[in-house]
Amino acid sequence: MSATLNQLTGPAYTRIYSYGAARGENAVPNDDLVGPIDSSDEWIRQRTGIITRVRADKDTDAIDLAAIAGLEAIEKSGVPADQVDLVIVATISNPKQSPSVSAIVADRVGANPAAAYDINAACAGYAYAVAQADALIRAGAAKYALVIGTEKLSDIVDPTDRSISFLLGDGAGAALIGPSDTPGIAPAVWGSDGSKADAVGMNGTLTEFRDGQVPWPTLRQEGQTVFRWAVWEMAKVAREALDKAGVEPADIAAFIPHQANMRIIDEFAKQLKLPDTTVIARDIETTGNTSAASIPLASHRLMAEHPELSGGLALQIGFGAGLVFAAQVVVLP
């Protein structure tokens, strides 16, 4: 008779316990960036809604930011660090291709020997990581997960590029996720459209840079292509996420989209017909676009400014390079 393997099962539900955040040390106003792109403070405000963005010191990297945000999330959660058995970090700006940011952060926050891995889903990375943490906990593969989105985009920006350089900021946002007696994270709607991968992404490879074929690779985008895709296609994804969660727009206490552009955020809200009572995250105004970090950073600020939202439903949606996207409804801690 052959042996029977054991398989794990976990709790029926999960939820977000707490948020943590770290923003770049320096506030960089529009006037500091307009010279190389022959622009103006007024033009940037009108096109993006950004007044200033945060950027980190030269000696601060995405790992440092992630550890700070992760420590805050753990402390606020009340879960001992040594009980965190899964760390997932979403980033496109790991200063090294290896080792992973997550393994280093797990050690720094006191979660050794937690399972740890990085994911690269650009601006959708945090939402991807939340979906994975939820599934792994419910499968019994982990009990408590630290999910972090972290970026130091100032390292991969060309100050003379008009397509994206003035948008980008540095920071990290974290969430501690664990078991729950009631549903706290709805099913994710996620996917990608790699056929349009050239719409936003790096303009060269590290091997091309090594061989002297291109300058240091930086982020570029086709602004109108990304804008149209984000507004029209991502509104459909957001509506599908509401349907999967079994809720209506009127049930949403907070809308937390990727902080790409204020015009996109406003158009989103209009397309979704969100009620006036829904609080909309607008962290981009003073933080900038921080890619994988933008949703958790916006969530952290929203809860600090609106503690009455605790226990309410939030619709979050990330979208970005590679035209990767993910949306889900969560209960706010």
123 assigned to active site: yes
List b or e across 260-288, with b for residues whose CB sees 16 or more CB atoms inside 10 angstroms.
Answer: bbbebbebbbeebebeeebbbbbbbebbb
* Residue 42: both structure tokens together: 């007024």
Catalytic entry in 123, 203, 261, 300: 123
- Residue 222 CB burial class (10 angstroms; 0-12, 13-18, ≥19): middle
Q: Which of 94, 261, 289, 300 is catalytic?
A: 289
Strands of 86-90's sheet, edge to edge? 13-23, 170-180, 145-152, 86-90, 115-119
Alpha helix ranges (H) inside the chain: 34-37, 41-48, 62-77, 101-108, 125-138, 206-210, 223-228, 234-245, 262-272, 284-287, 294-305
Tell me, what amino acid is at 124?
Answer: A
Of 30, 94, 203, 258, catalytic? 258
Q: Which residues are catalytic?
A: 123, 258, 289
